[in-house]
Amino acid sequence: MAAGGLKTKFVLRDTMRLYRTLFVRSFLTGLVVFAVLGLLDVILPLLHSDGAAAAVAIVATVFAFIGTTFVQGALVEVVDSEHRGVPVPAVTDLYRSSWSRLGALVRVSILTGIGVGLGLVALVLPGIVLAVRWALAAPIVMLEGQGARAAMRRSRELVRGHGRAVFEVLVNVWVRIGLAWLVISFLLGRLQAGTSHPELVIWIGGTLASALLTPYAAHALSVVYYRFTDPDRPLLPEKGRSWNSVWQDQDLPGDSSTP
C-alpha cells in the first residue's frame, strides 16, 4: 500500500460497517465471556475478609485480562470470515479457534503491555510509538499463526511508514470508546442510586458495556490489518448474508459465496 493510503475516515467508516453487519454475532461472542467475568466483580463486595477480597481482586484482574484477550481473538475470526465471503463460524467454533491461539495472544498482550507501559513511564512518547508499532500484533497472531515476538515484528513491518495514520485511527477509536464508557458509567450510576441491588446493576451494566464496546476496537484493528495486507479486496463482500441462528452455522439457500 502506498504511503498515505490509510485514511482515518475510511477506516472508521469500514469499522462501523463491520460493527453493524456483525453486531449480533460479535455482541454474543463477548457477552458470554464478559458475563462470567463480571460475576467476580459481584462477589468481591460481598466478601468481608480483607484477605479473601484481595485474592478475589487479583484473580478477577487476571481473568479479565485473559478473557478480554480471548474475546478479541474470536472477534478477529468473525471479521476474517466475513472478509473472505464465507459463512461466519458458530460462536462455539470462534471460541475454539481463539482458544487454540490463546497462549500466543496472552504472551503478545503481556509483552506489548509491558513495553508500552515502560515507554509511557519513561518519556510518554516512546510508549505511544510502541503502541502504534505493535497495534496489529493480535490480528497477526490469529490470522497468520505467528508467535508473540514474530507477530510484534510483523506488526512493526506493516505499520512502518504509516505510523501517523495508525496513531490517528487509534486515537479516534480510544476517544469514541472512552466517551461511550463515560455515558454508560453515568447511566449505571443513576441506576445504582435507585436500586437496592447495586451489585446486580454493576454486573449487567458492565457485561453489556464490554460486549458492546470491545467489538468496535477489535474491528478497527482488523480493518487496518486488511488495509495493509489485502487492499484490493473489499473489506465486506458486495452481497450481504444473514443467518437464522448465531449459535449454529447455516448455509442459506442460493448462497454461492466462495472465499
Phi–psi pair at 60, nearest 5 degrees: -60, -40
Answer whether residue 56 is part of any domain: yes
Instruction: Round to whole Å and give the CA distance between 32 and 136.
Output: 25
The answer to whether position 130 is within a domain reads yes
| Element at 5 (helix H, strand E) | none
Closest CA to 74 of 62, 60, 91: 91
Give the pLDDT score at 27.
94
**What pLDDT, on a 0 to 100 scale, did the predictor assign at position 242?**
42
Residue 259 belongs to a domain: no
What is the pTM assigned to this prediction?
A: 0.82
Instruction: Examine residue 219 and state whether it is found in any structural domain, yes or no.
Output: yes
Name the more confident of 84 and 155.
155
Answer whether residue 139 is part of any domain.
yes
Residue 82 included in any domain = yes
Letter string b/e over residues 201-235, b meaning 16 or more CB atoms within 10 A of that residue's CB? bbbebbbbbbbbbbbbbbbbbbbbbbbbbeeeeeb
- Does 258 reside within a domain? no
Q: Is the sign of the CA dihedral 222, 228, 230, 233 positive or negative?
A: positive
Mean pLDDT: which of 51-55, 122-126, 200-204, 224-228 is highest? 224-228
Q: Please tell me the total count of domains within the chain.
A: 1
Closest CA to 149 of 129, 134, 131: 134
Q: What is the mean pLDDT of the chain?
A: 83
- Asked, for residue 177, whether it belongs to a domain, the answer is yes
pLDDT given for residue 45 in this prediction: 61
- Residue 48 belongs to domain spanning: 9-229
Give the end-to-end CA distance of the chain in Å, rounded to a whole number: 22
